Homo-oligomer: A and B are copies of this chain.
C-alpha cells in the first residue's frame, strides 16, 4: 500500500511502544484498527477529514499552496464510514472523562439525524463511547442512544451502558476490534 498517511502511521506505531493505552487517543486506536481491517481485507472504513473553511491562501513557491487563514466548521455527518461484509457502516467515536454518564451534548443533533437516515436506508449506525477513567469502551447501537436523547438529563448513565452494551476490549493487534463486537449484535 502506498497511502499518503503512511508516514503518520509509522509515527503512531512508534507511540504504541512508548505509551500506555491511556496515552493513545480513541481516534488513534480506531485509525490503527481500520488500517488493520484494510490490510487484512476485513473492511474498508476511513475517518473523514475534519471540515475546514479556507479563507486565505498564499503561494510561497510556484507549486506550493499554503493556507494562511481558515476556520474549523461543524461536521454535518459522523467521523467514520465504510463497508463491512457488504453493509454500509457509519459511526461516531467519543471519549468522556466522566465516571458516571456520557453527556449526549457531545454529539451534534445533525449527527444523530444523519445516523437515523443511515439506519432508515439499510445501513448500520452506532457510537463508540470511551470512558477514559475506566479504560472502557462501549459499542452503542443507535436505537439505544435514541432512548436517552429525549430524556431529562440528555445523558446515558455509565451503569446503563455497562448493563446493556458490549465492551470493545483493547488488544495489541487489532487495537480495538469493534467489528467482532458488532458481529455479536447483528
Contacts and interface: CB of A to CB of B under 8 A. Distances in A.
A73 B121 contact: no
A15 B54 CA distance: 20
A118 B67 contact: no
A28 to B, nearest CB: 16
A119 B69 CA distance: 38
Main secondary structure of the interface of A (DSSP, over half): mixed
Given A69-B68, A88-B83, A74 B44 contact: no
A49 B46 contact: no
Nearest to A81: B81
B110 A3 contact: yes
Given A51-B49, A65-B72, A110 B4 contact: yes
A109 B3 CA distance: 9
B66 A69 contact: yes
A55 to B, nearest CB: 9
A117 B44 contact: yes
A3 B71 contact: no
24 contacts: A2-B110, A3-B76, A4-B74, A4-B75, A41-B121, A43-B121, A44-B118, A44-B121, A44-B123, A48-B49, A49-B51, A49-B52, A49-B75, A52-B67, A65-B71, A67-B67, A67-B71, A67-B72, A70-B70, A81-B81, A83-B121, A83-B122, A86-B88, A86-B123
A106 interface: no
Contacts of A4: 73-76, 110
